[in-house]
Amino acid sequence: MSLPLFRPILLASVLALAGAAQAATMTAPVDASGNFTVTDTTGPGTPRTYSFRIDPTTAPTPSIYYDNSVPDQSVADIKIDIAAAYSTTAARLSTASTCDSFNCPGATASSTQLTLRSVSPFDYLAVNFGANELFFHWASPIQNAVLTAVNGFPEGLTNYRSYLTTPVPGALALFLGALGFLGLRRKVVQPRGAEPMAA
């Protein structure tokens, strides 16, 4: 086998194995009542199906389920992952609130429920439990949410991260548009008796 042909084949093999080693990702449709199910395909006793309810519902936007934890649980890395999962950019997301111990203001956790009350407004939420991760996205910011695991959270809740979409400032767009209009108007309309400016 020639060396130029061997390298692409070796690279393709390595990439295929690396892809198989990553977490399985599942898009789970959420119904109007907030109910959805996910299937763990990598944990012990798999496949195993879990039922959840999210209130308020994210419907028609699905939840995203990873049946292995996202490798790095830092706020910045989860922001990148949740942005990619919902086809937005991490630069548009700002951190709203986080909790690693569930002894945090506004967050309570049990073996079957995560409750967020009067926390900073958010429209993206990442919840880690055991070796699993759930991502959610709402159409508009919320401050309260309840995630119920009907069968209980496998291995218990670990952390949550919430993010808020920061829109491009509308005032800046209006200001730049007005400046452009004024510049164009000045160029087109000259005062009476004014001589055209020499180039």
Evaluate whether residue 187 is within a structural domain: no
Evaluate whether residue 100 is within a structural domain: yes
pLDDT of residue 188: 58
Amino acid letter for position 39? T
pLDDT of residue 13: 39
Evaluate whether residue 155 is within a structural domain: yes
Q: Which domain holds residue 71?
A: 22-170
Evaluate whether residue 130 is within a structural domain: yes
Evaluate whether residue 70 is within a structural domain: yes
Evaluate whether residue 11 is within a structural domain: no
Contacts 24+ apart (CB under 8 A), 106-113: 107/160, 109/157, 111/149, 111/152, 111/153, 111/156, 112/148, 112/149, 112/150, 112/152, 112/153, 113/146, 113/147, 113/148, 113/149
Evaluate whether residue 82 is within a structural domain: yes
pLDDT tens track for 17-53: 333 344 578 899 999 999 999 988 877 777 889 999 9
Residue ranges of the chain whose pLDDT lies below 50:
1, 3, 5-22
User: pTM of this prediction?
Assistant: 0.73
